[in-house]
Structure 1
Amino acid sequence: SVKALYGETIDIPCPVKPAGGLIFNKWKYETTSSEIVYLVTRNIQKNEISYEDVPDYKDRLSLTADHALHIKEARVDDEKEFTCMLSTFEDIYEAPSLIHVFSRPTKPNITNLATNLDTRKLIQVGYCISEGGYPKGILTWFKNGHSLEANEKILAEITFKTEEDQASKLYTISSTLKVQATKEDIGASYTCQVTFSLPTGEETDMSDPVTIDVHYPTEKVKIEVISPTGNIKEGDTVILKCSEDGNPPIQDFNLYINGEENGKISTLNLTDIQRFASGEYKCSLPGSPEPIESSVDIDVHYLDITLNSSSSTALVGDSVDVLCTALSNKGPIHTSWVKDEKPISPPDFTNLQFKDNGNYVCKANVKEVKGLKKNISFNLLVEGKPSVKLSKQVNKDGKSKTITCTVNGFPKPEVMWNAMGVNIIYTCINQLANETEEQAKLHSNLLILCRVSIVLGCNKYSQFHCIWSRFSVEKLLCPYCQNACVVSDKSDGEEKVNDQAKVIVGVVVGLLLAAVIAGLIYWLYTKKSK
């Protein structure tokens, strides 16, 4: 038995080995009709070789010195039994050799691919073909590396076809695969393998894998909130997405809001959502004989805050009714207060003082809803007559004193120093927004007058309110005096002065002066009469 590859040279050795005395050597074969055909004869005595006129082997034959027959360009038709004959003077020896020709087929190629497979019917995956093989090979289909023929659970239909080339006698084998896919076949890899024989044994060759999309009907619809991931509050941007488990995916769903149809969507963006947008949002599969739908409830959390104040302006000692109210559909609500950007305890707006002036902020937040918080603010203005506090301190020179006049009031009081012909030096230091401190150095023993005035902010209190504090000097301070100037309070009082009082005082003084003058005239007249 001799094995040879298609297109290559067939080397057929002569198995006969006579002892000697060879006369000639011949090669022959027998046709299918039992006809003997001689190919070549060698006269060993004369060393002459003659080739018979056999068309199929013209210019393809040669003999070697050891009587072997070489056939160039092996063909399928060469697959027959060739006989080597050696003749001696005593006998003729024959030995047959069976030739086997092999041809490697082409790599399988899958063509005519389907655009998609379906879970409801058989659809052709593709057409696999391998050409030029001999002997005839075998095609096998695989899915994800597993043979489809050996898997009875897979609904598949496979057909095969073999064609022989009339000239070359080589085979072309092909196969068609149809499958009814399942959802699990998404992304499945299909391949086609050819199994063939060569002189060295059996071999295989695999096609390139192909992947085909699988179509299947929708069974479920889903609507979900993509953003935000937690609780929804007013002002958020809410993104709703409708999806389903079918393939190809649906692009537009019927949208229902609180039972009313609201167009077709795949994704819905609700910007700056408000509480009235709360309710049921439902996606429904269009064109379905039976309802396939899904819904989600949107609850928009809100927070309202109000601040009611009986007045934003008050006098010292008065009270103001202030009520901060927060309302939410998600509790509990936490409230806090800030005054002039500093956290404070809940304020008490009774017996108001100047220190209660400022900007108040009521803050509310719902801890269960991240970012749900609101603030509301108001300005409180406490007005009234200023208060004056006087203090004295002996200076380091021991000859003078510094008088400190501390004034508390709102709006900011105006502080003036008055002295009857006295040269005073004073400075002003603002300790707080509603507090004024003035210092004066005395250089005389004359009366010093510290007057503080303030104008109230409302029309019905348009008059001036003054507080007078007086100081007097017990001893004269001068370059010739050795003792220090001692300042003491002669009187501290409060006097409300207005234009009406000034008129009354003027009238009284005028009447007194008139009485004195009248008395003086009467006295002069009586004296002259005497």
Structure 2
Amino acid sequence: MTGAGQLAEQLQESFSAAAVDQVSSGLLANFSSTHHFSFSLFWTGYDKQQKDMAFQRGAFLPLFLHVCLLGCSAWAKVELTMHESVEAYLGDSAQIPCQYSFTDANNEPSFVMIQWFVRAVSDSSRKRIFYGDSNQQVVDNNTEYSGRIQVTSDQQGILTIQDVQISDEREFFCQVNGLAAGSAEGKTHLRVFAPPDAPVIEGVPAGISVTNEVPSKVASCEAQNGFPKPNITWYRNSLPLMSSPGHVNVLILVTREYSGFYSVQSTLEYKVVKEDKDAHFSCEVSFFVPGAIRTVESNSVNITVHYPTTMVELWKESPQGLVKEGDTVELRCQGDGNPPPPFIFSREQEPDDDLESRGDVLILAPVSRKDSGIYQCRPLDSDGYTEVKGEMQLTVHYLDPAVVVPKDSEFMLKGEDLTATCNALSSLKTSTVWYKDGKQVGKGNTLHLQDVTYETTGEYICEVTVPSLPALHTSGSVHIIVQGGPQLVGMDQEVQMEEATGRVVNLSCEAQGHPLPSISWNIIGSQNWHEVVSKANEHMTHSVVSVKVTSDISAQCNASNDMGTEVKAFSVKAIPRVTTTAPFSPAEGSGVIIVVIILCLLLLAILGSVLYFLHKKGKIPCGRSGKQEITKEKTTKDDIVVEMKSNTKNEEAVLLKAVNGDKKGPSDK
């Protein structure tokens, strides 16, 4: 053991704490005055209790004796460097460096003590949390940093604080004591950051009127649990809103929670205008983080703006297109006010009579031409903007029933002319077409009938339509009746014919006219006749008689009415029939002739075979005269003539000629 160590042990055993305190104080004062060195900073920060504890642990005496033994040496001056501030997130670790050095590196002291202090939260006093030298490091007990800090023993002297809390935002002091080299102290402010929750915005649910003279509350925004205190900025359509008296007011309420966090609530008061009905308001919270500033924007909200009606529009909702009588018309009124006000409807002709409506809709059903006119609607705003109105012209189109002249039925004499008219009163241009029996016979309001005939008789229908409104249409008709004497159908006034006696002929007669003619028959030459057809319709009479021809017949068809008589003559010449003793039908005679011809041909074939056989046997001399005879008697094909007649004598002559060939009677030679 060295002499200094023995001396320290002897002093520790023989001196009480009070005596050591008194001796050390005197020695330090004498040592300081002799070497012009102040050691008071080393002692600063120790209260009486801490001094007693230091001496009781035997930490001070060895140190003091060591200083005394080495006091005569030359010492270097200590220099200390610290950051002004250190930043850390809540819950993270913070490192506060305390870097020291000596001006004379050759004369650095062999003993250096480092102490860390922290500024108290309640007042400006300081409290030690750590001390130590190169041999030992001691964390003070019963402090809020006990168990949460560590300090390196090199000249960097880094203080590490684990699990940083909001209460750690304060000043930390580092004190370095180099004994004879003096002491130095520095401080660092630890800044703690905790990002707040995302901002929550709430718009005012009720509507805000533009007529309010002072700014009205529009929305509120709140950001909670932030440290340090966050800031809130308001935006309208992504453009920042600045406070402006009478137009924009921002009210801020800051709350410090028990946990140390800050909650900021901001209220926006804004003087709304009509254009704000489509505006979007949002808030943005900005807060500090280590080395930067961050922002988080809220959702946007839209407010309901109430403003009076300044413009009203009235239009026809239905039906589409032109309106005709009988339609259901729906008129709708709309203004630019908010909320939409109720409306009152009226006609310009009767402004004081309110029409019954449902909200912004007026229904007219069914409409007639008297409903045409100018319709108006006015809003019932609470602010009294009743002079604002919307109006429109309603035209109800119509088409009256068609009026035809002549009316109903018209009697005419054959050959006369007639002009018929068809008119229908309408609010629009019309088109008229005439029809008879489904076929178009005229176009326009007037129909001309010239040199009428019985074919002219019939019903003429005029159809009136509105091209621009096809749903409007009407029709009328006139019945034309052509009067005159009977007129027989057919070009021939006299008919001649021939017919075999005993046959039955039908004689037909048709006549038209008005009044409808009657038909009578006058038949000479036959008593055996009767009428088989007798019919009449509106325009024509038809009669058919059946007459048996026994002799020449003369018949007359007499068609007559009150206006005349028409006659048609028929002349039938009777032709006598040819009779025979034996009735012979052409079909039976033809069959017999064919059979006879076949038999003759067979006989000729047999005869030829016999002659050929006899010639071969030599029974028939074969001379020139014989050949000529045979050839002469040969029958040619052209000599066979078949004449189909019912006369028996003729048939026999044909057969004989076919058999005899070219043989001629004695009279033909």
TM-score interval for Structure 1 and Structure 2 normalised by the shorter chain? 0.7 to 0.9
2:168 equivalent in structure 1: 78
Q: 1:411 to 1:89 in 2, by over 3 A?
A: farther
TM-score, length of structure 1 as denominator length: 0.73
Cα shift at 1:328: 2.7
Number of the residue aligned with 2:87: 3
Structure 2 equivalent of residue 526 of structure 1: none
Distance 2:97 2:546 in 1: 144
Q: Deviations over 1:377-397 (max 9, x none)?
A: 3444446554224456989x9
Answer yes or no: is the 8 Å Cα contact 1:232–1:299 preserved in 2. yes
Q: Cα gap change, 1:7/1:200 in structure 2, threshold over 3 Å: closer, same or farther?
A: same
User: Aligned with 1:327: secondary structure?
Assistant: coil
Task: State the AA in 2 paired with 1:447.
Answer: I
Shift in alpha-carbon separation, 1:68–1:295, aligned structure 2, 3 A: same
**Per the alignment, do residues 283 and 448 of structure 1 end up closer, same or farther by CA in structure 2, a change over 3 Å counting?**
farther
Identity over the aligned pairs, expressed in percent?
25
Q: Within 2, Cα distance between the matches of 1:10 and 1:448?
A: 150
Match of 1:262 among 354, 357, 360: 354
Do residues 159 (structure 1) and 257 (structure 2) align? Answer: no
- 1:306 and 1:164 map into 2 onto residues whose CA distance is 92
| In 1: Cα distance, 2:117 partner to 2:321 partner | 93
| 1:250 aligned counterpart, secondary structure | coil
The structure 2 residue matched to 1:130, chosen from 202, 223, 233, is 223
- Residue matched to 2:568: 469
Q: In the alignment, is residue 106 of structure 1 matched against residue 212 of structure 2?
A: no
Report the 3-state secondary structure (helix = DSSP H, G, I; strand = E; otherwise coil) of the residue aligned with 1:57. Answer: coil
Q: TM-score scaled to structure 2, two decimals? A: 0.59
Tell me, yes or no, if structure 1 residue 341 matches structure 2 residue 410: no
8 Å contact kept, 2:251–2:267:
yes
Which amino acid counterpart does residue 8 of structure 1 have in structure 2? D
1: CA distance, partners of 2:531 / 2:227: 128
Instruction: Say which of 185, 201, 205 aligns to 2:292.
Output: 201
Structure 2 counterpart of 1:29: 118
Cα 1:406/1:200, change in 2 over 3 Å: farther
Q: Does 1:238 align with 2:329?
A: yes
Alpha-carbon distance in 2 for matches of 1:282, 1:296: 7
Residue 167 (structure 1) shift: 3.3
* Inter-partner Cα distance in structure 1 for 2:556 and 2:169: 140
Unmatched tracts of structure 2, length 5 or more: 1-84, 581-669
1:50 correspondence with 2:139 = yes
CA distance in 2, matches of 1:64, 1:167: 34
In the alignment, what sits opposite 1:176?
267
**Distance (Å, rounded) in 2 between the aligned partners of 1:204 and 1:250:** 43
Amino acid at match of 1:352: V
**SS of the counterpart of 1:184?**
helix
Alpha-carbon contact 1:5-1:199 (below 8 Å) kept: yes
The separation in 1 between residues aligned to 2:93 and 2:533, in whole angstroms, is: 127
Separation (CA, whole Å) in 2 of partners of 1:70 and 1:271: 90
Match of 1:505 in 2: none
Q: Is the 8 A contact 1:405 1:450 kept in 2?
A: no
- Mark the CA change 1:267 to 1:449 in structure 2 (over 3 Å): closer, same or farther: farther
Deviation of 1:129 after TM superposition, in Å, equals 1.6
Query: Which residue in 1 is equivalent to 2:60?
Result: none
Q: Aligned runs of 1:501-516 on 2, under 5 Å?
A: none
Match of 1:40 in 2: 130
- Asked which structure has the greater CA Rg, the reply is 2
Q: Distance in 1 between matches of 2:519 and 2:101?
A: 148
| 1:67-115 deviation per Cα after TM superposition (whole angstroms, max 9, x unaligned) | 5333233233322232445667885675543311112122222236241
- Aligned AA for 1:278? S
Which structure has the highest helix share of the two?
Answer: 2
Q: Residue type of the partner of 1:221?
A: V
Q: Is the partner of 2:370 in helix, strand or coil?
A: helix
Q: Please state how far the C-alpha of 1:249 moved relative to its aligned partner.
A: 0.8
Equivalent pairs, count:
467
Q: Output the CA distance in 2 between the equivalents of 1:313 and 1:452.
A: 28
- Structure 1 residue 275 corresponds to structure 2 residue 359: no
Q: Structure 1: 5+ residue runs without aligned partners?
A: 482-530
Select the residue among 293, 316, 324 that pairs with 2:422.
324
The residue identity in structure 2 corresponding to 1:270 is L
Aligned residue in 1 for 2:388: 292
Change (3 A) 1:370 1:63: farther
Letter in 1 for 2:325: E
Structure with greater proportional strand content: 1
Aligned-partner SS, 1:474: strand
SS at match of 2:424: strand
Deviation (angstroms), 1:203:
1.1
Q: How far apart are residue 43 of structure 1 and its match?
A: 5.5
Structure 2: how far apart are the matches of 1:441 and 1:160?
Answer: 124
Indicate if the aligned counterparts of 2:345 and 2:355 stay in contact, CA closer than 8 A: yes
1:190 paired residue among 262, 281, 306: 281
- Native 8 Å contact 2:312 2:388 kept in 1: yes
User: Would you say the 8 A contact 2:530–2:547 is kept in 1?
Assistant: yes
Q: Does 1:210 align with 2:301?
A: yes
Q: Which segment drifts farther, 6-15 or 62-71?
A: 62-71
Cα distance in structure 2, aligned partners of 1:449 and 1:8: 142
Cα 1:50–1:413 shift into 2, 3 Å: farther
Paired AA for residue 477 in structure 2: S
The aligned residue for residue 141 of structure 1 is 234
Q: Work out whether residues 286 and 294 of structure 2, in 8 Å CA contact, stay in contact via their aligned partners in 1.
A: yes
For residues 419 and 397 of structure 2, the distance between their equivalents in structure 1, rounded to whole angstroms, comes to 30
| CA distance in 1: counterparts of 2:224 and 2:419, whole angstroms | 101
Opposite residue 357 of structure 1, the aligned amino acid is T
Residues 1:362 and 1:292: Cα distance change in structure 2 (over 3 Å): same
Contact persistence 1:117–1:180 (CA under 8 A): no
- Match of 2:172, SS state, is strand
Residue by residue, what CA displacement relative to the aligned partner does 1:154-210 show, whole Å, maximum 9, x if unpaired?
Answer: 963322324242633332222221222222111211101112111141111111111
Q: Secondary structure at the match of 2:448?
A: coil
Task: Give the SS at the match of 1:186.
Answer: helix
Distance 1:415 1:270, change over 3 A: farther
Indicate if the aligned counterparts of 1:114 and 1:125 stay in contact, CA closer than 8 A: no
C-alpha distance 374-75 of structure 1, shift in aligned 2 (>3 A): same
Deviation at 1:39, TM superposition (A): 1.1
**Do the aligned partners of 2:557 and 2:567 also contact (CA within 8 Å) in 1?**
yes
Task: State the SS of the aligned residue for 1:192.
Answer: strand
Q: What is the alpha-carbon distance in structure 2 between the residues aligned to residue 232 and residue 164 of structure 1? A: 69
User: What CA RMSD, in Å, does the superposition of the two structures yield over aligned residues?
Assistant: 4.4
Shift in alpha-carbon separation, 1:139–1:311, aligned structure 2, 3 A: closer
Q: Is the 8 A contact 1:257 1:281 kept in 2?
A: yes
- Say if 1:59 and 1:437 are closer, same or farther in 2 by CA, change over 3 A: farther
| SS at structure 2 position matched to 1:255 | strand
TM superposition shift of 1:133: 2.2
Q: CA deviation at 1:320?
A: 5.9
Quick one: structure 1 residues 410 and 235, their matched pair in 2 at CA, closer, same or farther if it must change by over 3 Å? Answer: farther
- Contact kept in structure 2, 1:339 and 1:361, CA below 8 Å: yes
Q: Distance in 1 between matches of 2:554 and 2:509?
A: 12
Shift of 1:302: 2.2
Separation in structure 1 between the aligned mates of residue 521 and residue 577 of structure 2, nearest angstrom: 21
* Whole-angstrom distance in 2 between the partners of 1:72 and 1:261: 86
Counterparts of residues 308-457 of structure 1 (less than 5 Å): 308-310=405-407, 312=409, 314=411, 316-317=413-414, 322-330=420-428, 332-345=429-442, 346-349=446-449, 351-367=451-467, 371-382=471-482, 385-390=485-490, 391=492, 405=509, 407-408=511-512, 420-421=526-527, 444=549, 445-447=551-553, 449=555, 451=557
Matched residue, 2:397: 301
Q: Equivalents in 1 of 2:180, 2:546: separation in Å?
A: 167
